[in-house]
Amino acid sequence: MDRQGTIYTMIFSFIVTFAFVFLLSLTNQATVGMVKLNQETTRQGAILAAMGIAHAGPQEVLEKFKSIRTEQKGGVTLYTTTRNGETIYAAEFAGSGLWSTIRGVVGVNSDVTRILGLEIISQGETPGLGGRIDEQWFKDQFTDEKVVNGQIQVDMHNAGAPDTSHDNGQVDGITGATITSTSVGRIVNDELETLRSILGGKS
């Protein structure tokens, strides 16, 4: 058969494409369970971390997550548990950053006056710049941070050291990633607003 002819070209292209796509589907099938499990442990781990519950390894995450209660309220899935006699909450949030949708979890105390923790589940911001919102030092700034005037401020002027005070309602942004940093602030503040409106009556 003529190797440069139209018929051969079509048949060849079809077979090659079919073969490669078939192999890809097989690989996808083989890994899909694992990828799903990874995503689920990441999500549950994030919820635990946002509530300040320490955990190590996927096994422990699945184990400790059993103590978390889930309730639907005002269209939001709330995760609750009791810590030192106080009911604490966590909720997943999503909002747009510079390039991507930033998904994460924020944990709050019963009257939304303090953020207990912040975790990022997924983001596609610039690696090394906006992508650093997932670094521990950045997230640690939100741990036990006081909510001042109903919100937190992302400071972009004080480049360098992270904000160590947990009572000023301020966190330090990431140098070179102004839009991502302020987006995180905006998304978290929106989520605090929502949580306040849901939990407001309880306090």
Partner 1 sequence: MSEAKSVTVLRENVWTSNPIFMQVLGICSALAVTNLLINTVIMTLGVTLVTGFSSLTVSLLKKLIPRKVRMIIQTLIIAFYVIIVDLVLRAYMPDVSKNLGPYVGLIITNCIIMGRAEAFAQSNGPFISFWDGITSGLGYMGVLLLVAVVRELLGFGTLLGYQIMPPTFLPWTIMVMAPSAFFILAIIIWIGKSIQMRQGKGATA
82-101 residues near partner 1, rule: CB under 8 A: 100
Please say which residue, 134 or 144, places its beta carbon nearer to partner 1: 134
Size of the site for partner 1 (CB under 8 A): 33
Query: Using the rule CB under 8 A, is 148 a contact of partner 1?
Result: no
x/- mask, partner 1, residues 34-53, rule CB under 8 A, reads: xx--x---x-----------
Which tokens hold the place of 45?
A: 């781990």
Binding status of residue 22 toward partner 1 by CB under 8 A: no
Three-state secondary structure along 35-69?
HHHHHHHHHHHHHHHHCCCCCCHHHHHHHHHHHCE
Helices first, then strands: H and E counts in the chain: 4, 8
- State yes or no: residue 197 binds partner 1 (CB under 8 A): no
Please select the residue that binds partner 1; options are 4, 72, 149, 164, rule is CB under 8 A: 4
Residue 22 · residue 94 · CB < 8 Å: no
Selected from 44, 81, 123, 181, the binder of partner 1 by CB under 8 A is 123
Polymer length of the chain: 203
Interface region with partner 1, contact rule CB under 8 A, candidates 14-22, 88-96, 105-113, 183-191: 14-22
Within 41-156, strands assigned E span: 69-73, 76-83, 86-96, 101-108, 114-122, 145-146, 153-155
Cα separation of 97 and 78, whole Å? 23
Q: Which residues of the shown chain bind partner 1 in the complex (CB under 8 A)? A: 3-5, 8-9, 12-13, 16-17, 20, 23-24, 27-28, 31, 34-35, 38, 42, 100, 122-125, 127-129, 131, 134, 159-160, 175-176
